[in-house]
Structure 1
């Protein structure tokens, strides 16, 4: 892997991790479209670490409050909105974690194809549009209920299908439950922290069991930096964009991408 490939893939990972357009799909498609060799598990782990650090830094104040209030709830001080949100993030991760353990090998073997990505990209684009148009958009993330946690958590498990988009499907589910666009995105981003950490840990264990023969540490560190910075900027400007616009631009992008994939790979 050379410098240009590192920059492109790290930038793609950072920008698409939190947009509703599927980072996994783009990381699968870029090498196919450019005829590049697979970037390797080490690089995948590194870029996920960059994205994880970015979202933790961006939401550091919220995470601090949530942690303090969560500890307080364990000590019997009651369930404050921030404590409830912390519990919601924890329990909301369980469906995707279980699905990942049970179906990871099946998905990685049988579903990592351009055709599956195309159909998922188009299908979930239509669902996102429906949720954006019909959702009441009257609630913020601190009004979350256990019903919301279950619905959004199960939806996140569907993101194991390449082309679905973890952020896209969780935002879709939150919109259907009546969240505002910004609240849906914020909860989706908070929900990404444990799931990215779990996925990165799983990939790291695979890397330890079957280490890659040669690791270009300079390029790996560059990948972490580029993915982290681009992910941070993506979160910041995406939330600002949602204050003024709907999800329609992302729906259109997904539909065009899906149509291109069907034409190019079918």
Structure 2
């Protein structure tokens, strides 16, 4: 991977990680369109450490309140009803599905699910699901995050596990689940970002050991892309939360469907092969 490729892919990661459009799909698709090699699951996971660092800083007050309340509640029974203490448990338990499925299907995630036909299909399918979810929320009294329950937290968790498939989108899947469950756009997005923290950090740390080995890019370009993703990601999450407080998700739905159709057309026409850019084995 060249320094220029790393710069472009870092920008793409930072711009798309928090939007419901799938950053992993964009890294895969745009690499294929530019004629570059697929950066791979390891590169994607490590650059997500950059965007997740942006989340840690942006939500630092929320995260600190959750951690302190959760730890205090372990020793003081009267604090266990604290919403932040319960939210800490919900984040932990909601992370289990993606951890389990990630281990069970790791080989499939890193190989056949990176097929461009799969990505095009999931972009369209989950774009439609997001549109329906947003429409469903519009006819309900939206709930704040403080009303989150354990069954709903697990529902978020299973929705997040679908993001193991490139094209689904971690934020898109979990936000859709939150909207279907009756939460406001802001509440659905905020919990989505908090829920992603343990999974993304764990995945990124594990994949660190693969950088520079086999088909994975070298350390230098990967670190550059990660740094760029952090800076751009911080601006993106701030903009996104402000945007959805007054607007619907329909622009993202239209974009997902258009991109998905474009990918399928290009593959069907032979302009791109389903495995374009993937290293030969």
Contact 1:112 1:162 in 2 (8 A): yes
**CA RMSD, aligned part only?**
1.9
Question: Is 1:160–2:199 an aligned residue pair?
Answer: no
CA distance in 1, matches of 2:217, 2:97: 35
For residues 219-260 of structure 1, what are the alpha-carbon distances to aligned partners after superposition, in whole Å with 9 as ceiling and x for unaligned? 443322210011111100000000110010000001101111
Question: Is 1:201–2:196 an aligned residue pair?
Answer: no
Selected match of 1:127 from 123, 126, 129:
129
Aligned to 1:21: 21
Aligned to 1:240: 242
Residues 161-180 of structure 1 mapped to structure 2, 5 A cutoff: 161-180=165-184
CA distance in 1, matches of 2:226, 2:122: 28
For residues 182-216 of structure 1, what are the alpha-carbon distances to aligned partners after superposition, in whole Å with 9 as ceiling and x for unaligned? 110000011111111121122124449x4779835
Gaps of 5+ in 2: 269-281
CA distance in 2, matches of 1:118, 1:251: 13
1:86, distance to aligned residue in structure 2 (A): 1.2
TM-score by length of 2: 0.88
CA distance in 1, matches of 2:31, 2:258: 19
For residues 134-160 of structure 1, what are the alpha-carbon distances to aligned partners after superposition, in whole Å with 9 as ceiling and x for unaligned? 122521112110111111111111111
TM-score by length of 1: 0.93
Runs of 4+ with deviation above 4 angstroms: 40-43, 210-214
CA distance in 2, matches of 1:88, 1:127: 24
CA distance in 1, matches of 2:66, 2:87: 7
Match of 1:139, SS state, is: coil
1:3, distance to aligned residue in structure 2 (A): 3.0
Contact 1:92 1:152 in 2 (8 A): yes
Gaps of 5+ in 1: none
